[in-house]
Every structure is written in structure tokens, then in C-alpha cells.
Amino acid sequence: MTTGVSLKNVRKSFGSVDVIHDVSIDIPKGDFAVFVGPSGCGKSTLLRMIAGLEDTSGGRIEIDGKDVTEEEPADRGVAMVFQNYALYPHLTVFDNMAFSLRLAGAKKDVIREKVAEAARILQLTDHLAKRPANLSGGQRQRVAIGRAIVRQPSVFLFDEPLSNLDAELRVQMRLELARLHRELGATMIYVTHDQVEAMTLANDIFVLRDGWVQQAGTPLTLYDDPDNRFVGGFIGSPAMNFFEAEVTGGGDGVMQARTRIGQHTFTARHTGAAPEGRTVTLGIRPEHIALAEDGLRAKVDMVEQLGGVSYLHVKLEDGSNVVVERHGLREALEGHTVGLTAEPDDILVFDPEGRRLR
């Protein structure tokens, strides 16, 4: 497996503010990598550094094994798709896509051939003579992608490309991007704050927060086995539920912890040492909570009924909210008191600093 993009101890600071701290990651060639995180986490900055639009304060950026840290954006073999498309408004779709080829002095028939090919892949053939102003949002985004395709870059960079589209179109474009990745086989790096996009598109997800990579891995690794409370809470929708608890016992690969609110004892899978009296946080995903006679007492406040799936918003004694996912629910549960339980394998334990205890 060869490396497509490699960052080695990359740092970025604006004045005295560090926005990227010592990031080292390897993205295999042909991978679909997603940088995900809340706004201000540095994911876009990192992408722009790979593109060469931001200077690097320290460290090395390599693309296809070549150090490009000091190279101009155009010489890095990357193409970028911007959030606001960044189409040239005075040029037609054809001229937008042909722009880089013309600058590079390509022959007319070569330009026509490449643009036609990109237009065919993106179903833009009928729109080549139009200006961006006369296109829909989805078509504009496809032109922006087409502009990237004709350059045949070794790395595609996407900066929140779908966030200006409506929900339905977003789903459709997501599928098209996945298809495009399969067809072109190029390395793609995709930035988003939307964890659904990250889960559905990525081979590898990099979760960022405050300029640090919190965890890297496949979507399901991050979902099933998060390294810390932040990743656990960020990946997955609705988000993971957290309960403050105190360790009351353990051994034989499990531990018991009593919740601070409701005084219910959960048993969680845990092999390390767990001194009694230690404060921990238990994380349980909505689909892993079962309703039972005994269990953590809670009152059903509201039910979001989607037909197949239902989300129960239940309140604990102190009013804090917990989300429970049910399938095929048909009873009216609002106002009922229920008990919440979960299997030991489905309960994740975090220390007070948010680190995962395994």
C-alpha cells in the first residue's frame, strides 16, 4: 500500500494562536479520507495546507512520496472543490472546466476531449454553454467537481462541498461522490462537520478537535470503539448518552458502577483495574438501551415517531435528557415511567478526563 498524502508533525499558527498542533497522519493512495469535527477544529485549515493555500508553520507535507511543503498550489498535483463552488461567474461551464488546461497551454482538441469526458461523467453535457448563474446548486457543484477532474490530479480535496445543498440533493450527491471515487480511483480528502457524510463516504475518518487528531480509523471502528468521550459523542446520530457514575465493584472482566442520578448500578465490560469509589462516565448508544421493569428510572417526555424507528426522549430525576431508540414501537408511551438497562458489552467507560477505559 503506497501512501497518497502524508503529514508529518504538521503545525499551523496564526500569530500566537496555534490552530493545528503537531498532526501526523498517513492517507493511503486511492483512499477516501474524511476530516470531521465541530466548526473551528482546524479541519478546513488542514485541508487548505495540503492544497497549499495556507502556509505550513512546521512539519512536512508529502504527496505521492514527494515533499510539497514549499510548493505552489498548482504544482502539488491537487485539485480542490470549494464550499461555495468558486466558479468563475463570467465563464461558461465549458470555459470553467477548461480554465486550468488553457493556462497550461493544452491543445484545443485535447481540451475539448477532456472537458467532454468530465461532462459525461458528471452529466453536464447539455449544460456546457451555460453560465454558472443559470445552473442549480447541484449542477454548480458538479461543475466544480468537473473542473477538478479535468486536471487529473492525484489528490482531490473537498471543503464541505455539500453544505450549501438541500437535504435531498445532499444524499444524491453523496452517492455520486462515492461512485466518482470508485470510477477514478484517486485519493480523496473530504472535510465536513456532518458525521453522517463522514460515516457514509469515508474509508478512513480523522476526527479533529481544537487542532488535534482525536482518533483515526474506519467509520465502524470509530463508532464501535471510540478512544475518548468526544469521539463517542461526535460520531453517531442521535448522539451517545452519557451517565456520571461511581465504581462500586468489579472483577472477571466486568465492573459495576452506580449512576449519580437515579442510583442504578450498570455492569460494563472492563478488564483493567477499577478502584472502588472512582468516578467514571458511562456511554451508551440510543439503540443499545433496553426498556425494562427494573433499571434506571426515567419518564418518557416525548416520542419522535418515524414509523420504523422511534426516538424516545426520556428524562431522568434531575431533568437531564436521554435518547432511546426503538424499532416498531406502536404503544403511546408519553408520560410513562420506564427503566433503562443495557448489556455489559454495549456500555463504554470513560475516565473524568474523557479517556476511554477498556
Partner 1 sequence: MATKNKTLRRNLIALSLIAPFTLTFLLVFAWPTYKVIQLSFTDAPLIGAGEWVGLDNYRDLLGDRLFWIALKNNGYFLLLTIIPTTAIALAIALAVNRLKGWVQALILAVFFLPYILPVSVVTLIWAWMLDFQFGILQPVIEFFVGERVAVFRDPYWVMPMIAVVTIWWTNGFNVLLFLAGLRNIPQELYEAAALDGATPRQKFLRVTWPLLWPVTALVLTLQLILQLKLFDQVYLLSQGGPFNTSQVLLLLVYREAFQQNDGGYASAVALVLFVIIMVVSILQFQLLRIRGKR
Q: Which residues bind partner 1 (CB under 8 A)?
A: 51-53, 72-74, 78-80, 82, 84, 86, 88-90, 99-100, 103-104, 147, 151
The nearest distance, CB 104 to partner 1, in angstroms, is 6
Residue closer to partner 1 (CB basis): 78 or 316: 78
Q: Kindly write down the DSSP assignment for every residue of 58-113, as one continuous string.
A: EEEEEETTEE-TTS-GGGTTEEEE-TT----TTS-HHHHHHHHHHHTT--HHHHHH
Query: Considering beta carbons, is residue 14 or 237 the nearer one to partner 1?
Result: 14
Q: Toward partner 1, which CB reaches closer, 73 or 238? A: 73
Residue number with CB closer to partner 1 (122 or 296): 122
Per the CB < 8 A criterion, the answer to whether 96 and 72 are in contact is: no
Task: Tell the smallest beta-carbon distance from residue 144 to partner 1 (Å).
Answer: 8
Strands 212-217 and 204-209: antiparallel
What sign does the dihedral 153-156-159-161 (CA atoms) show? positive
CB of 149 to partner 1, least distance (A): 13
SS3 category, 275: coil
Which of 78/173 has CB closer to partner 1? 78
At its nearest, how many Å lie between partner 1 and the CB of residue 318?
47
| Three-class secondary structure of residue 237 per DSSP | coil
Q: Please work out, in degrees rounded to the nearest 5, the angle formed at the alpha carbon of residue 220 by the alpha carbons of 157 and 211.
A: 50
* Dihedral angle computed from the Cα positions of residues 157, 198, 228 and 31, in that order, rounded to the nearest 10 degrees: -50
Q: Which is nearer to partner 1, 83 or 248 (CB)?
A: 83
Residue 76, classified by CB atoms within 10 Å of its CB into exposed (0-12), middle (13-18) or buried (19+), is buried
Rounded least distance, CB 70 to partner 1, Å: 15
- Shortest distance, CB of residue 78 to partner 1, whole angstroms? 7
Q: Which residue matches cell numbers 472492563?
A: 270
